[in-house]
Amino acid sequence: MTEQTEKAVPAAEAPLPRGEEPAAEGHRIAPLRGELSNTAAFFWGFTCIAGVLAVWFVITAGPPGEAEKRMVSPTTLPSVAETFQAIPRVFGERKLVTNTLVTLKRVCLGFGLSCIVGVPLGILAACLPALRAFLAPLMVFGRNIPVAALIPLTFFFFGIGEFQKVMFLFIASVAFVLSDTAAAVLDVPQRYVDTALTLGASRWQIITKVLGPLAAPSIFNSLRLLFGLAFGYVMLAELVKFGSASGGLGDLINMSQRRGEREPILLVLVIIPMVAWAIDRALWWLQSDLFPYRYGGAGLIPRFCGWLLHGRRTEFRP
């Protein structure tokens, strides 16, 4: 007995710490789904950017004037320095800022139209099963339509002006807006509807006072993500053009391609995601501020609107 225990104790003790150590270590360095400190997050992000730039730098490096000695020829990929030297040209001659604004205006119009049509219709579709079934084929069709094939079609229908681009975006995105909105409303737990019913709410009041507002944070979140999608679509529409220059980022890329310039295209590729990211962050801030109870924002806009609407009569929270 004693012998056995004496043997068993070290035998049992020895592997335990050894077995636990790597687990504990792993827990510290890479906690599963855990939070990372800002510094660490910045470090890893920076490492990624630096890594990409380094690879780019190495494969395009070579003595000046001897382009054929580079690993990748400059006609395929210009060097880092060459690309960044093109910055003034892209901002000046190619009017990057103006073209970005032209593109943004188109996204806002087309996607805005999608929202104006898709959100109310989506809420109604979620509430009325017959309408939902009626719209179901359109949603399936609209979500799976080959977007590129839509472009020539919209030229036939809507001409070659601004209207065509707006309508293209509308057709390409409205089905997503509609079905995401309907899904958000259907996701609101039934107990809220039951509660409202026992408090005497009518069917219409349940839609406008309960389902709509409770689904609003999810709807806004979907719209924010879909905005990014629309931003990509519109450039596709701008790439295809008839006749004169139509402006926009797609057009800028098109023009550079015809002139055989790679640097502006690369720069646009770098700048566009940054613009898209900035817009996304701005929308996220708006979202968390509009729905503080869901995303923990400060609620400045709702409070400001409340103050505008009701003035001194509202009580302020400290």
Q: State the residues that interact with other proteins by CB under 8 A.
A: 189, 191-192, 194-202, 205, 209-210, 213-214, 216, 291-294, 315-317
How far apart are CB 193 and other proteins at their closest, in Å?
9
Closer residue to other proteins in complex, CB, 51/296: 296
Count of C-beta atoms within a 10 Å radius of residue 293: 9
How far apart are CB 195 and other proteins at their closest, in Å?
4
Tokens representing residue 140 in the block: 């399936």
How far apart are CB 61 and other proteins at their closest, in Å?
55
Closer residue to other proteins in complex, CB, 28/317: 317
Closer residue to other proteins in complex, CB, 174/214: 214
How far apart are CB 203 and other proteins at their closest, in Å?
11
In whole angstroms, how far apart are CA 87 and each of 31, 80, 227, 266?
41, 11, 27, 10
Residue ranges with strand state E in the chain: none
Closer residue to other proteins in complex, CB, 70/209: 209
The secondary structure of 286-301 as a DSSP string is HHHHH-HHHH----HH
Tokens representing residue 277 in the block: 């990211």
Cβ 224 vs Cβ 284: under 8 Å: yes
Does residue 129 sit in helix, strand or coil?
helix
Closer residue to other proteins in complex, CB, 204/242: 204
| CA separation for the pair 249, 246 (Å, rounded) | 10
How far apart are CB 314 and other proteins at their closest, in Å?
8
